[in-house]
Structure 1
Amino acid sequence: MTMIRRLVCSALRLRSDRSGLALLEFAIVFPALLTLSLTGAEITNFITTKMQVSQLALMLADNAARMGIGSPLAAKTISEVDINEIFIGANLQSGSLDLRTNGRVILSDIEQDPANAGKFQIKWQRCYGLKTAHGSTYGTAPSSNLAGVGPAGRQVTAQDNNATMFVEVYYVYKPLVSASLVPSTTLTEIASMAVRERRDLSTIVKPTGVVASTC
């Protein structure tokens, strides 16, 4: 009886003992808490990266629309040096994203098609970045007789005697934790800008020794 009484007393004390309860509860909820925290961090990083890639595309289009040299009285000329400098600047702006290593930029010059009234052409393209397996989604140069360039319903065109700079930025996302926590590991952003000032559309100057960023 003494042994049974001791066992009963021990059981009663154990039932009323609350020491270590918080630790036990934490151990139960910790895996779920950790999963939620890591998922939140991954999604936040993905959204931030997508915004940065979108801003890079817009910056590239804007800079391409402004490039060229010449006096206010004459049409600006552009050279392969101007295009290369725009790409290098975008890579510097990308910072830790390292656009050159992890991405591919496709810059397209869109002009009116002289052979087809009301239609447009991709007159030339230049590319940058080591993800060379990714090509343009919207056409390659030279292409002609186009209704426009870009996604259906959002195609861009060019004004009379002018050009539009159309940019595609493809980027391979580097996950913090796991690729399974984000919608996709590849990002594609587009942007376009009409050329600001008069530009000589006939040719791109290629100085001696300069390598063109051809696609």
Structure 2
Amino acid sequence: DNAGRVTSGIDEANIIETFTGAQAIAEGLDFTTNGRIVLSSLENNGKTGSKKGQVISWQRCWGRTDIDPAYGTEGKGKNNASLSDGMGAGANKIVAASDTAVMFVEATYTYQPLVSTGFFNSPTIRYESAFNVRGRQNNKISNTQKLDKMTC
């Protein structure tokens, strides 16, 4: 939701701030080691006919757990209809309207129990959510401070 609130344009610094907030919220979980967040900017690919669909315009990841993005990586759908139905599990996929973007988030965490029983594997918790971008003038990501990209 925080990435969707950036209105004038989105920059790598905004992404770092968003993930820093997630790190603060999940501090007691050691999420950095045991989890991964994938943040994708889903947009209309601007194509017509058989190539019409959605595109993952940019994508950033945070967390050390080796989890691939579930619906594709940055650039998927740019020149084809591979994301014609959008992103998400089940029948109700998320799509972005023309001239806007949707922040699509995949959060995965390997649960770490307080007391280990030694009998069970740690379950993996996965959650997806989407937030409309609100009033952003430019959905292309910039890097005005030449920061390292948090690539997947």
TM, length-normalised to structure 1: 0.62
Whether 1:153 aligns to 2:91 is yes
Whether 1:134 aligns to 2:76 is no
Q: For CA contacts below 8 A with separation 6 or more, give which structure has more relative contact order.
A: 2
Q: Structure 2, unaligned stretches of length 5 or more?
A: none
Q: 1:137 to 1:156 in 2, by over 3 A?
A: same
1:60-139 → structure 2 map (5 Å cutoff): 62-68=1-7, 76-116=8-48, 118-131=52-65, 133-139=66-72
Q: Does structure 2 conserve the Cα–Cα contact (< 8 Å) formed by 1:108 and 1:123?
A: yes
Aligned CA-pair RMSD: 1.8
Normalized per residue, which structure has more strand? 2
Amino acid at match of 2:55: Q
Whether 1:188 aligns to 2:122 is no
Q: Does structure 2 conserve the Cα–Cα contact (< 8 Å) formed by 1:105 and 1:127?
A: yes
Whole-angstrom CA distance in 2 between matches of 1:179 and 1:194:
43
2:116 aligned to which of 169, 174, 177: 177
Whole-angstrom CA distance in 1 between matches of 2:86 and 2:13:
28
Q: Does structure 2 conserve the Cα–Cα contact (< 8 Å) formed by 1:149 and 1:157?
A: yes
Equivalent residue of 2:56, what SS? strand
Equivalent residue of 1:143, what SS? coil
Percent of pairs identical after alignment? 34
Equivalent residue of 1:84, what SS? helix
**Cα offset, 1:151, TM superposition:** 0.4
Normalized per residue, which structure has more helix? 1
Q: Structure 1, unaligned stretches of length 5 or more?
A: 1-61, 69-75
Question: Size of the alignment, in residue pairs?
Answer: 144
Larger radius of gyration: 1
Q: Does structure 1 conserve the Cα–Cα contact (< 8 Å) formed by 2:36 and 2:107?
A: yes
Q: Does structure 2 conserve the Cα–Cα contact (< 8 Å) formed by 1:179 and 1:185?
A: no
